[in-house]
Amino acid sequence: MNLDANPAPAALAAYDDPGIVAGPPRGGFRAMLRRLWRHRSGKIGGGLVLLIIFCAIFAPWIAPYDPLKLAMLDRLQPPSLAHPFGTDELGRDLLSRVIYGTRYMILVSVVSTGIAATGGIFLGLLAAAGGRWTDLLVMRLVDIMLAFPYILLLLAVIAILGPSLITALVAVGIAAMPGFARLVRGETLSVRESEYVEAMRVLGAGTLRITFRTILPNIASPLIIYASYTMPLAVLSAAALSFLGLGAQPPLPEWGAMLVQSRSFLRTSTWVVAAPGFAIFFAIIGLNLLGNALRDVLDPKART
């Protein structure tokens, strides 16, 4: 796990060289979906992600037990017909907790990436569209955020806001903003120079219109790809925060917290650790595979 939510896809080196060419996906949106459908590992990744979404939506119907109900008499039961994943140290059914945990998984990945993307897009657009001084100021702010040790930034935000799952997500989101900001700025600059933007300007379109009609849709591809990188990292960062005792509070069936709270059972009752551990593992593999597939499909240069 790379504990830095600002990953470095080959594309994002210096500010001025975005690498991924901004623009609509080759052949249009439908063609992209078709390519995604045919992508082998993308199917596996997509399947895993869909499974998670399905569990999250239908959890109350498919989970066999109440994930929060204690049953001290049944604590630490190995996997059986009654409890396919076994029970944890307080007697709760692990399968049900894993199923409900998909909700937190989605919450963590979507909310923190959403916060990061929103803030990042705002900063990036501001830097690209504003004057030279705005650009300088905003980018220095981004540099400051990047130079700040990642874990300490998370811990500081949580220390200010108080520990809970939501504050953990906010912290991870804030820490991931600089990466998005840089990306958006770079892509926006390159699109701005492109021909059809020139054309629109010549035709008299205002800046705001240009921004929303043209720039945003065209930077969507690199944004989606970048988001697919940051989502798994957000999940792992949230798990690391649980490791430090912050983040999701008991008894929430958030996989990271479950993993951390049960780690003393690694040798004696392995299933208590294995259930959330493999859940995180497969969820992240799914996200990563999907991300790879999206990149292959959206980025004309990266066809391998």
Asked if 134 interacts with other proteins (CB under 8 A), we say no
* Beta carbon nearer to other proteins, 2 or 207: 2
Asked if 240 interacts with other proteins (CB under 8 A), we say yes
Asked if 90 interacts with other proteins (CB under 8 A), we say yes
- Count of positions on this chain that bind other proteins (CB under 8 A): 70
Q: Segment near other proteins (CB under 8 A), from 51-59, 110-118, 195-203, 244-252?
A: 244-252
Asked if 156 interacts with other proteins (CB under 8 A), we say yes
| Among 21, 75, 110, 220, contact with other proteins (rule: CB under 8 A) | 75
Asked if 133 interacts with other proteins (CB under 8 A), we say no
Asked if 206 interacts with other proteins (CB under 8 A), we say no
Asked if 163 interacts with other proteins (CB under 8 A), we say yes
Q: Show the 3-state SS of the chain.
A: CCCCCCCCCCCCCCCCCCCCCCCCCCCHHHHHHHHHHHCHHHHHHHHHHHHHHHHHHHHHHHCCCCCCCCCHHHCCCCCCCCCCCCECCCCCEHHHHHHHHHHHHHHHHHHHHHHHHHHHHHHHHHHHHCCHHHHHHHHHHHHHHHHCCHHHHHHHHHHHHCCCHHHHHHHHHHHHHHHHHHHHHHHHHHHHCCHHHHHHHHCCCCHHHHHHHHHHHHHHHHHHHHHHHHHHHHHHHHHHHHHCCCCCCCCCCCHHHHHHHCHHHCCCCHHHHHHHHHHHHHHHHHHHHHHHHHHHHHCHHHCC
| Among 32, 51, 89, 205, contact with other proteins (rule: CB under 8 A) | 89
* Beta carbon nearer to other proteins, 72 or 81: 72
| Among 24, 62, 264, 300, contact with other proteins (rule: CB under 8 A) | 264
Rounded to 10 degrees, what is the CA torsion of 46, 8, 129, 219?
-20
Asked if 4 interacts with other proteins (CB under 8 A), we say yes
Nearest approach, Cβ of residue 298 and other proteins (Å)? 15
* Beta carbon nearer to other proteins, 210 or 298: 298
Asked if 135 interacts with other proteins (CB under 8 A), we say no
Structure tokens belonging to residue 251: 């008894």
Q: What are phi and psi of 87, to 5 degrees?
A: -120, 160
Nearest approach, Cβ of residue 194 and other proteins (Å)? 18
Asked if 304 interacts with other proteins (CB under 8 A), we say yes
Q: Segment near other proteins (CB under 8 A), from 124-132, 185-193, 212-220, 264-272?
A: 264-272
Q: Segment near other proteins (CB under 8 A), from 56-64, 70-78, 110-118, 200-208?
A: 70-78
Asked if 68 interacts with other proteins (CB under 8 A), we say yes
